[in-house]
A and B are shown apart, each in its own frame.
Chain A
Amino acid sequence: MHAKKPRMTNVLWMLFSGMFYISAFTFGGGFVIATFVKKKFSDELGWIDESEMLDLIALAQSAPGAIAVNVAILVGWKVFGVIGMIASVLGTILPPMIILTAVSFIYNLIADNMYVAMVLKGMQAGVAAIILSVSIDLAVKVMKEKSILYDALIVAAFVLSFFFKVNVVFLIIAALLLGVALAFFRRKGVLR
């Protein structure tokens, strides 16, 4: 990355504006954003080579938090260290912050209007359909692994969360610990 050494302000501006543009106009979540980031910074600018970019995206997807933010952290850091990271993260989070600030002011003004409330209610039905449809797709994907453990985890997590109202954070920590334990044992050759 030190090969060309373009001017610092230039690089920072391109990190910020590139991420800002992608973040402001990309609908459809982290995976879509990751594709655009790869297009911009690998294919177009050639700042990060393709195979490393794919690894960074995989890394961003395995870390907690929003995938878009994680990608921004890695790309910014890779291109220009900590300052680069700040520039690209700012570029990523400013558009949604600005848009949602505007939306929340409008929401406070119009949500009580009878007709607006009806439209929102109808859209809620759509959102419920989207979320349940996505979760069924995800569940089918997990079940295709044909692992009794994963199937049991699906059932157990659903029962504990939905019927017993066990705290979400608690369930995720439990899964995390189980995952670490299993990965550790598998590495040691105790399992499989």
Chain B
Amino acid sequence: MIYLQLFLSFMQVGLFSIGGGYAAIPLIESQVVNNHAWLTMSEFTDLVTIAEMTPGPIAINSATFVGIRIGGIPGAVIATLGCIVPSLIVVSVLAFIYYKYRSADFMKRILKVIRPVVVSLIAAAGIRILSNVAGFGGSIDWKGLILFSAAFVTMKTTKVNPVLIMVACGVVYLLLGIIIR
């Protein structure tokens, strides 16, 4: 039963994450944190952090991480399968259409309408992650909030590798925690 739930949940992630990369984040959050409570918001944010630091698509990373926690190695395999089954079907259909008509224009037009929605969904997930870090709605974590602002400004004004920014944030937070406490 748990395997079926894992499969169906990650199948939805695979089927509806349109637009690559970050588009999967709000979907994984919705399945894993809200629908099934397999992870807390904090654990989910850790997962996004880990996924950002390791190679591989975030959906596959998440399927493995959550699958193992809920159903061991078989859980990981089943969740990952769930993730790629929609791709197998939809990509095959699109490839068939492409080789028949040699044009991907129709799909491009549809994507243009989906993109603004996906962008907003990613932004909303980002704000929820931020409010988890900074403790909005509870006691504000000033160290987290200041680090976020510094990281955000660095991202916007320089071309420093995002992974480096993340690691730097981790180290600074640890040092602040040891010194200030």
Contact = CB atoms under 8 A, between A and B. Distances in A.
Contacts of A68: 56-57
Given A31-B20, A118-B174, A101 B73 contact: yes
Interface in B1-47: 12, 14-22, 24-27, 29-30, 42, 45-46
Contacts, number: 339
B85 to A, nearest CB: 9
Interface in A95-125: 95-97, 99-101, 103-105, 107-108, 111, 115, 118-125
Name the interface size band of chain A: 35 or more
B140 interface: no
A89 interface: yes
* Secondary structure of the A contact surface, majority rule: helix
B91 A63 contact: yes
Interface string A161-191: 1100001110111111011101100110000
B139 interface: no
A61 interface: yes
Interface in A57-104: 58-70, 73-74, 77, 85, 89, 93, 95-97, 99-101, 103-104
A67 B73 CA distance: 24
B45 to A, nearest CB: 5
A129 B163 CA distance: 11
Contact of B121 (A55, A59, A157): A157
A159 B68 CA distance: 34
A179 B170 contact: no
Contacts of B65: 100, 103-104, 107
Given A125-B169, A154-B119, A162-B124, A93 B147 contact: no
B171 A122 contact: yes
Contacts of B15: 64-65
A153 interface: yes
Contacts of A107: 46, 50, 65
A69 B56 CA distance: 10
Nearest to B19: A61
Nearest to B45: A124
